[in-house]
Amino acid sequence: MEIRNNTYTLRNCRYIVNPTGEIRKSENIVIQNGIIKSVGRELEGDEIDCSDYIVIPGLVNSHTHSPMTVLRGYYDDAELEDWLNKIWEFEKTKFTKELMKIGSELAILEMLGNGTTAFVDMYFNPDQVAELAEKYKIRAFAGYTFLDSLFDPYEIDKKQRRLKKNEYFVPIINVHSIYAVSENTLKIAKQLAEELQTWIHIHVSETRKELYTIKKRNGLFPVEYLAKLGLVNQKLQMVHLGWVASWEIETIKRNGSTVTYCPTSNMKLATGGSFPFKEMLKNGINITLGTDGTASNNSLDMFQEMKIGVLLQRQMYWNVETKAIDLFQSSTINGYRLLGIKGGLIKEGYVGDLVLIDSHFVYPLSQDKLFSHLVYYVDGRYVSKVIVNGIIHDKDNILRILAEKVKLLENSYLDSTNP
């Protein structure tokens, strides 16, 4: 990565695109100590010519499982339950901590290269993720995962309390799902989130079977059940919700929780149902977007995820109510809202987390087509530079390091990633 002086200017940006719909042409962005100091005519410090770039806020991947990058293509053509059993078997028997770290490292490099500046991660190695986030300068949010078949919840509680925050890493509480933990575990997680002042990140209502299971076990639908336990509040992030009921959307709205849409993963695992994007939007709920892990996507490209996100909504509703800009908001400003960081907007006082897109092949390029191009046409291949906390990552450099790490994986670990 490239570290500039504390103050520098992205000069003459071809376009500056904000998720509010605002587009500026040929203006400058001054960044000081990692924060946007001004957007307009000012120039200060080193100057970087941006006349070929479309500049957008950094993309937040709100749900992934970074170590699983080494499991890309591991077991593809299966529905969720079958798939999950296969994955859990690998995790129990073969997934060493060393290999998990390589997976997270590869995922971080891929995400940076595709314009992701922050990610929310659910896995078993948050200590390593913290170390890697600081090493590569990407914002990571991760924690140990409550998952009763693999771990004792009291152990997770203890380890979680020892997990340290750093400039690029914030611990969060991961709970796999309601069906994979006991009520007691949920209570431990709730207590822990309150004490550590962080949020709970959990898979909810992913399949129809999950609904039946929870209803049978607890007499309530998943979101209702979480609400009964007092978990549905501003410190809850529910992922998937392909099978959420209309009255549960009311509950989410009332309690201010964040929801995360993972269209590719849901489709690939044939979970049926579909995330009710427009109902969530109408209710003013904070909708974020995630790629999910590479074993169920299998990409880590938020641009592709935005596109597939619109496509799935249009397919399910037979109308075009969901628009490109809605997904762009989910991936930027809404993501930063979840993270509790003043980001996702290119505006004075917001964090210097930005993506510079090479505009040479984005055509025909005019102001009114920008959101369309960003969601339906552009993908990670057009990302030239990624800025996190004011630190500039050059794409070529990211790819060079990624290639080295891939070689390392292939020389040492490949055999263990075959079923």
Q: Using CB under 8 A, list all residues that contact a second copy.
A: 70, 72-74, 76-79, 106, 264, 266-272, 274, 294, 297-299, 304, 308, 310-312, 314-320, 323-324, 360-361, 363-366, 368-369, 372-373, 376-377, 379-381, 399, 402-403, 406, 409-410, 413-414, 417-418
Q: C-beta of 361: minimal distance to a second copy in Å?
A: 7
> Minimum CB separation from a second copy for residue 375, in Å?
9
- For a second copy, the closer CB: 168 or 371: 371
Q: How far is the CB of 11 from a second copy (least distance, A)?
A: 21
Which residue lies nearer to a second copy by CB, 90 or 144?
90
Q: Report yes or no: 153 and 185 within 8 Å, Cβ to Cβ.
A: yes
Nearer to a second copy, 103 or 153 (CB): 103
User: Which residue, 110 or 157, has its beta carbon nearer to a second copy?
Assistant: 110
Comparing CB distances to a second copy, the nearer of 33 and 372 is 372
**Least distance to a second copy, CB of residue 289, Å:** 16
Judged by beta carbon, residue 183 or residue 410, the one nearer a second copy is 410
- Minimum distance between the CB of residue 414 and a second copy, rounded to whole angstroms? 5
Tokens coding 365: 């390029």
- Residue 292: which of 270, 319, 264 has the closest Cα? 264
- Give whichever of 254 and 282 is closer to a second copy, judged by the CB atom: 282
Distance CA 335, CA 139 (A): 12
Question: Within 10 A of 363 (CB to CB), how many other CB atoms are there?
Answer: 10
Q: Minimum Å distance from CB 283 to a second copy?
A: 21
Cα 13 to Cα 8, 166, 323, 353, 374: the distances in Å are 14, 32, 25, 15, 16
CB of 5 to a second copy, least distance (A): 32
